[in-house]
Chains A and B, each alone.
Chain A
Amino acid sequence: MNKSSQAYERRFTKTFDNQFHKLRDSIRTKRIKQRVDQIVASPYANIDFGAGQYRGKRKDRAGDDRIVFTVCEQCRNEHHEKYNDCSDCNTTPNNMVTFWEIIEGHKYRTRN
């Protein structure tokens, strides 16, 4: 099965869940859900890896917010396991997309 036709699974850290449920802005929550759906539907679009402490994880924008996630298949291919360090790596399928964190990007806005 090639990457584009493969169906992807998804899961979320408890931290992501907690962060999401603290958001009070329905526009932001809908936007984040929509971006999550898009990432799961096509996880190899807009490949943008994090840097520094985010090495090994990808990031994508949902408005001003950023979503941090990993794709198991890509993590293994790129040898990023040492950065992501998931306890269930041996049993998790390649087609799993894990959503780690929401970053409230408006704090960092450097664009005019």
Chain B
Amino acid sequence: MVRTAQERAIDCLLTTYVIDDAFSRCELQSMPETMLQKLVFLSERSMIRERKKGFCFRFVKLKYGPFSQELKDSLGGLKKTGLVGSRLAPTPPLGVLLQDFRDVIERNKIFFQEISQVNDAYAGMSLRELLNTVYAMPWGKHGKTIKDLPLRTPMLYPMRPGNVKLEFGITAEEGEDLLMNFDLEAITQLQQAASDMREGRTRTYEQVFAGL
């Protein structure tokens, strides 16, 4: 099932928080994408265990352990919109975004605390150390570890509505405001409009609405 617009907005917000929190908590200079995949996986797993619906990424087992194509795509968007820089470093616009959505973060702090706990435990590890830790984690009821799972085994997917005990709370308006910030096309147009205003490229009412 495809994620809803609201789920995509929450996924992107939580992902940016994982990055921002990991960098500030562990004083990171850079974060490999593989490391972000594992940190998000561990946070989502922890939320699902407690039946909290926060992240909605689907993860499968690949060569380097749990991997989500949806997360990879979201991250690509975050980079292009300038919220995340090279080597996944948080940028000033990301700081502004997280500040402007602090009410949402405060209201849903239980989800963000979950992320902070995971970052506390794992974000300071080297990538190799983190991968080995994740590979060795038990999975399923047959004494297997994540390393033992066959490639492409589905690992995490959104909970059925009936299983959810606590859901990330966000209004439709907040969801739309978030999506505007994560939408490459809208942000590109905004940057062009800002460039227009810096360089005096304006139009009159008559020029815009002539012919209507």
Q: Which residues of A contact B9 (CB under 8 A)?
A: 108, 110
Among B17-25, B107-115, B178-186, the stretch that binds chain A is B178-186
Count of A interface residues, CB-CB < 8 Å: 39
Q: Which residues of A contact B180 (CB under 8 A)?
A: 50, 52-54, 66, 103, 108
Size bracket, chain B contacts: 35 or more
Select from chain A the residue with minimum beta-carbon distance to B205. A10
Main secondary structure of the interface of A (DSSP, over half): mixed
Among B69-77, B126-134, B195-203, the stretch that binds chain A is B195-203
Partner of B190, one of A17, A51, A54: A54
B197 x A68 contact (CB < 8 A): no
* Residues 67 to 100 of chain A near chain B (Cβ within 8 Å): 68, 84-88, 98, 100
Residues of A within 8 A of B (CB): 10-17, 19-20, 29-30, 33, 36, 50-55, 66, 68, 84-88, 98, 100-105, 107-111
Q: Given known contacts A17-B208, A84-B197, what 20 new A-B pairs fall within 8 Å (CB)?
A: A13-B193, A13-B201, A15-B192, A15-B196, A33-B212, A51-B177, A52-B97, A52-B178, A52-B181, A53-B187, A98-B202, A100-B193, A100-B194, A101-B190, A105-B176, A107-B5, A108-B9, A108-B176, A108-B179, A110-B175
